[in-house]
Amino acid sequence: DGGITQSPKYLFRKEGQNVTLSCEQNLNHDAMYWYRQDPGQGLRLIYYSQIVNDFQKGDIAEGYSVSREKKESFPLTVTSAQKNPTAFYLCASSQGGLAKNIQYFGAGTRLSVL
C-alpha cells in the first residue's frame, strides 16, 4: 500500500541526547514536511523539502535538523539544543510544491523527555 510511515510511534529522550525520527514515503512525492503539534496549538512547520538534497526552515526550526538524501526519506533529528521537545511530530508529503497539492500525513511520533 502507498503511504507515509513514521517510526517509532513513541520515543523517549534523555537530557542532552539527540534523537532521530524516521519518515519514509512510497508515494513518489517530491515534497516532504515535518510538523510539531502541541496541545491547544495548531500544527507548526519545522522543516520542509521540495526536492532531494534541498530543504528549508519552517517557523520553528531551531533545535532541529533534517536531511533529504533520498526522495523517499526525510528524517528529523531533535537535537539537545531543543529545550522543549515533548510534542507530537507529524511528517507529511505532497506531489508538487508547498500547499499546491493535498498533503498526506503519517501516523505521527510522540516524543517525551525522560
Partner 1 sequence: KNEVEQSPQNLTAQEGEFITINCSYSVGISALHWLQQHPGGGIVSLFMLSSGKKKHGRLIATINIQEKHSSLHITASHPRDSAVYICAVRSGNQFYFGTGTSLTVIP
- Asked whether position 62 contacts partner 1 by CB under 8 A, the answer is no
Give the Cα separation of 29 and 16 in Å (integer). Answer: 34
Give every strand in the sheet of 76-78, ordered side by side: 4-7, 19-25, 76-78, 64-66
- Asked whether position 1 contacts partner 1 by CB under 8 A, the answer is no
Q: Which of residues 6-35 bind partner 1 (CB under 8 A)?
A: none
* Element containing residue 50 per DSSP (H, E): strand 44-51
- Asked whether position 51 contacts partner 1 by CB under 8 A, the answer is no
Record the cell numbers describing residue 46, joined without a space: 519545522
Q: Which of residues 85-104 bind partner 1 (CB under 8 A)?
A: 88, 90, 92, 98-104
Nearer to partner 1, 78 or 106 (CB): 106
Taken as a whole, the chain contains a residue count of 114
- Asked whether position 60 contacts partner 1 by CB under 8 A, the answer is no
Sole binder of partner 1 in the list 19, 29, 106, 111 (CB under 8 A): 106
- Classified as helix, coil or strand, 108 is coil
Record the cell numbers describing residue 92, joined without a space: 507529511
Nearer to partner 1, 70 or 111 (CB): 111
Provide the binding-site residues for partner 1, judged by CB under 8 A.
Answer: 40-45, 58-59, 88, 90, 92, 98-108, 110
